[in-house]
Structure 1
Amino acid sequence: MFDWMVWTLPVAVFFACIALVLVGMTIWEIKSPTTTRKGFLPIATTRGDRLFIGLLAAAYINLVWVGLGEKLAVWFSLEQEPSVWISFVLSMAVLGWIMRKG
């Protein structure tokens, strides 16, 4: 069923974190319904809106990191491509920042 995707540990951890966030947000929404608020984003958003925007940002960060991996290795004279764990941590930090301040 999942043979079409390369399931490495970082990919599995990334998707597991997304699943945990979705479960957590569902429980949080049931316990405390959200209200719209204005943060640094140019629109008033709910928690779900910020989660969606944050997940998109996290996905794009990871895609850009993987896409530029070879070039980063050449530019900085690295022996191998930078670890995808760096992009994972960066993307989760951006997701948290958007959820908190967005």
Structure 2
Amino acid sequence: MLDWMVWTLPTAVFFICIVLMLVGMTLWEIKRPTTVRKGFLPMATTRGDRLFMGLLIAAYINLGFLGISDKLARWLGLAEEPTVWISFVASMLILALVMRKG
């Protein structure tokens, strides 16, 4: 059924984190409804808005890293492409920043 996609460990961890965040946000919203607030983003947002924007940013960071990892390996003279865990950690840090301060 899922043969069409390459399910590597980083891919599985990324999607598991997304599912856990969605479940956690749903439970948090039920327990304590959100209020609109203004952070560094150019508009007032709710927790769900910030999660959505953060997930989009995380996806673009990971896709961008996949796109340039071959070039990075050549530029830095590495024997193989850098691991995708680098982009995973970077994207989760940016997501946390958007959720906290956005």
Q: TM-score, normalised by structure 2?
A: 0.98
Shift of 1:25: 0.3
Give the Cα separation in 2 of the matches to 1:92 and 1:53: 12
Q: How far apart are the structure 1 equivalents of 2:74 and 2:45?
A: 41
Q: Counterpart amino acid of 2:82? A: P
Superposed counterparts of 1:1-102, under 5 Å: 1-102=1-102
Q: Give CA deviations for 1:58-95 in whole Å, capped at 9, x if unaligned.
A: 00000000010100001111111000001000000000
Q: CA deviation at 1:35?
A: 0.4
Q: State the secondary structure of the residue aligned to 2:44.
A: coil
SS, match of residue 3 in structure 2: coil
What percent identity do the matched residue pairs reach? 72
What amino acid does structure 2 have at the position aligned with 1:96? A
Rounded to whole Å, the distance in 1 between the matches of 2:54 and 2:44 is 15
Amino acid at match of 1:26: T
Extract structure 1 runs of 4+ deviating beyond 6 A: none
Instruction: State the number of aligned residues.
Output: 102
Letter in 1 for 2:79: E
Distance in 1 (alpha carbons) for counterparts of 2:29 and 2:96: 17
**Unaligned stretches of 5+ residues in structure 1:** none
TM-score calculated relative to the size of structure 1: 0.98
